[in-house]
Amino acid sequence: MMAEVIYRGFCIIIDTIAKLMDKIRPGWSDRNSSRISEWKLMAYAYSRSAIGIVGGVLVSIFVIIGIIGPYIAFERYNEFPASVNPDLYFLRPCIPPWCDPWSENLPLLGTDNWGRDILSLVLHGARISLVISLIVVALGVPLGIILGLLAGYFGGAVDEVMMRITDVFIAFPALILAIAFATVLPSRFREVLYTNVFTREFFLSLFALSKEEIPQLASLLAVIFALVLVWWPGYARIIRGSVLSVKEQAFVEAARSLGLSTWRVLFRHILPNVLSPVIVMVTFDLGTATLLAAALSFLGIGPQDPVPELGFLVSKGREYFPDKWWIVMFPGIALFIIALGWNLLGDSLRDVLDPKTRRSLEFKVKGKKQRKFKSVKRK
């Protein structure tokens, strides 16, 4: 029942997109009927994947919390209630049904050494983790795709130079290379933020941080830039290998013979045919980027107090573990759920985007329709 509801919901979205495209480009849905059918088949395959649905739900919750979390948090991350009321130091979690947080006026997930509500810190931290993962993937993936396309299509000296540069980056462990960049870059970003008002205000609002956190914002940007530098080589390698096999196919030769420009051949004909593994890899990497950024913060490379980055919250809580276990436990659970959701979704998309899986599903769907038609005809 749930699978059917999800499938019908996707079909409504696809049909709505087709109607909008028809208004912009009359006859678009007729010209792209096979593409629309393929999208609906993907939606059908996804709706039948329990793993994909669970992953999609977890990712949706994370994205929603990342967007609205700072606005629904009970407290700001830079408020220190224990300085006014010392009784708020290290309050234990008040979790129903063992405790009623509303009647006893106690924090749901406890407080830290400054009396800050852990739930509010996790809500703020979800926003920071979401923005980091999206920026890293949004910058690193296109860079890797473009370099991989150029290397695979042109070959020769272009391929040799780009792949040797890629090998240099791959040769270093990603975490070590990211630590090196993230350590030396904050001062450079600090200068940019202090001199450029628009850049400063944009990133402060993006991370939902106060103006006092400009030095910590510089550390965040340094972590993001460091992750981007170590993220693109994997995509360059995958795209290059796919382009080497696709560029010799007949439809690419036909596009060349029609006199289409190199960029049009690359981005209109080759790129759409090599994107499937990249989409799957992106979903996995959104979770990996969150964990790697948390690892850097855990090691002390990244934003410090009072910025509530999830990895830093875990690092800070280890000083009081296991007596004050909740300071480590709940940010750690948040990181676990984020990574699990992206990985489950990516695992499902790998099957959904596989043409062989879609073809087998297509035959099953047609077989069900034929059996229904025969049973109705007999009646």
Architecture of domain 70-79+116-346: Orthogonal Bundle (1.10)
Q: Bridge partners of 117?
A: 111
Cα 109 to chain centroid, rounded: 26
Backbone phi, then psi, for 117, in 5-degree steps? -70, 120
Instruction: Please report, to the nearest 10 degrees, the dihedral formed by the alpha carbons of residues 262, 263, 265, 266 taken in order.
Output: 110
**Mean pLDDT per 10-residue segment, the chain (379 residues):** 81 89 86 84 84 91 92 88 83 78 74 89 93 91 90 88 87 81 86 90 91 89 88 88 85 83 85 84 89 87 86 88 89 93 88 69 54 48
pLDDT at 131: 93
Q: How far, in Å, CA of 76 to CA of 78, rounded? A: 5
- pLDDT computed for residue 322 by the predictor: 84
Check the CA dihedral 262-267-273-277 and report its sign: positive
Listed by start position, the domains of the chain span 70-79+116-346
The pLDDT of residue 186 is: 87
* Residue 254 Cα distances to 143, 246, 247, 259, 271, angstroms: 28, 13, 11, 9, 16
pTM of the entire predicted model: 0.86
CB-count burial class (<10 Å; 0-12, 13-18, 19+) for 258: exposed
CA distance 185 to 47: 44
